[in-house]
Amino acid sequence: MAKDRILPQLHHMENLIWIGCNRVIRGWDGNYPGERPINMDVIQHYNAQFLKNIDNTVDISKWTNDEIMKYTCDNIHLTKAGMDYIKKEIVKIIK
């Protein structure tokens, strides 16, 4: 679906910057109170395709466990430090 439907549409968007997603650290939920879906990692497959096929990207899939715990509060939602990181990377792209 990503290859056949989503990516062709994204290629028509001017000035697109794809902000990827980080890996999920199993066993660390941060401040998230609920139970996580078992298949949370499925998004990584799509993310890899987007990173490979979109010119301007912010790739956070290579963050270390320590970086994930610093830049997110629960494996998903960014902390202020995480938002600052993303902002810095976007500014590099648009300059």
The pair of structure tokens assigned to 7 is 């990516």
The predicted pLDDT at position 58 comes to: 98
The pair of structure tokens assigned to 43 is 């998004």
Angle among Cα 10, 47, 35 to the nearest 5 degrees reads 125
The pair of structure tokens assigned to 89 is 């990377």
The predicted pLDDT at position 68 comes to: 98
- Mean pLDDT confidence for 7-36: 91
pLDDT tens digit sequence for 47-77? 999 999 999 999 999 999 999 999 999 999 9
